[in-house]
Copies of this chain bind each other. A is one copy, B any other.
Amino acid sequence: MASLSICNVYAGISYGIRPASSGGAAAKPRRMVAVRAEAINPDIRKTEDKVVDSVVVTELAKPLTAYCRCWRSGTFPLCDGSHVKHNKATGDNIGPLLLKNK
């Protein structure tokens, strides 16, 4: 009963369910994911109104630095590969932003 009421809180706004196929004969099947309008950051800096990070790109030490976009990284704002677990658990297809210093 509790889980149903939690669902109902968020069920009012929905991005809907994506079809399994976009319809074209040669089109690659689209993943079917249901994404509700709800928070996607469970735990990162929740005392801040908005979590914004800045990178001075001239100060990047390594040729390649990956930045998190899944909000699950233990080294946020850096990527620690947590999107792999998230994608596996949810069927999602998210990944990091790679900054390349030449």
Contact = CB atoms under 8 A, between A and B. Distances in A.
A98 B52 contact: yes
A55 to B, nearest CB: 5
A89 B10 CA distance: 9
A70 B40 contact: yes
Given A13-B89, A55-B100, A98-B55, A18 B3 contact: no
A1 to B, nearest CB: 12
Contact of A93 (B27, B28, B35, B49): B49
A39 B92 contact: yes
B99 A55 contact: yes
Contacts of A35: 38-42
Contact of A97 (B36, B50, B56, B97): B97
A15 to B, nearest CB: 4
Interface of A: 3-4, 6-11, 13, 15, 17-18, 22, 27-31, 33-43, 45-58, 60, 67-71, 77, 83, 86-87, 89-102
